[in-house]
Amino acid sequence: MAVPNQLPAKLPPTVRYAEAEYWESRYQREPAGFEWFFGHTALRRIIRAYISKKKPVLHLGCGTSNLQEGMAMSGYTVVNTDISKVVIAHMKERHAKYPNLAYCISDCRDMPEFLDCQFGHVVDKGTVDALLCCKQGTANV
C-alpha cells in the first residue's frame, strides 16, 4: 500500500514533465491551444475575488492555456513563463495584440530574472504537479 503524500518508488519512463526537452518536443508536435485543467471562463470569478490588478501577475508554466488571454482582457498585467522556447515563441505571436501580456522562457525551479516582490500574485495551474511527476519530484519544489 502506498504511503500518502509520497511518490511511487518507480515511475514509468515516459514521465518526463520536469524536462525541457519533453515540452519542446510536445509543443512542436502539438502547437494548438490545450487546457490541462480549467480555463479562464471557469476561473474568472476566483481570479476576480482573489487576484488584484495593482501589481503584475506571474503565470508559471503557461503552456498554451487561454488563462492569460482572459486575464488580459479583464485588465490584468500578466508575465507568462514556461520552460519551452517553442511555446513561448508561439504564445508571443498569438498574443501580440495584448500589451499587458509578456512572455519569458524560464525554469520555475530557479528564476533569477525576477525580483523579490515583483509580482502581486503567482498563478500555477499544473506546474507543481508536473514537477512532482519525475524521479526527483519533491526536490523540484
Q: Residue 42: which pLDDT band, with cuts at 50, 70 and 90? A: confident
Taking residue 6's Cβ as centre, other Cβ atoms within 10 Å add up to 9
Please name the amino acid found at residue 28.
Q
Q: Coil, strand or helix: which one is 113?
A: coil
pTM exceeding 0.85: no
Whether 21 shows a pLDDT value over 60: the answer reads yes
Q: How far apart are CA 109 and CA 131, in angstroms?
A: 9
Q: What's the Rg (C-alpha) of the chain? A: 16
Helices and strands counted in the chain (H then E): 6, 4
The residues that bridge with 104 in the sheet, in sequence order, are 81
Backbone φ and ψ of 113, nearest 5°: -75, -10
CB 106 within 8 A of CB 84: no
Whether 102 shows a pLDDT value over 90: the answer reads yes
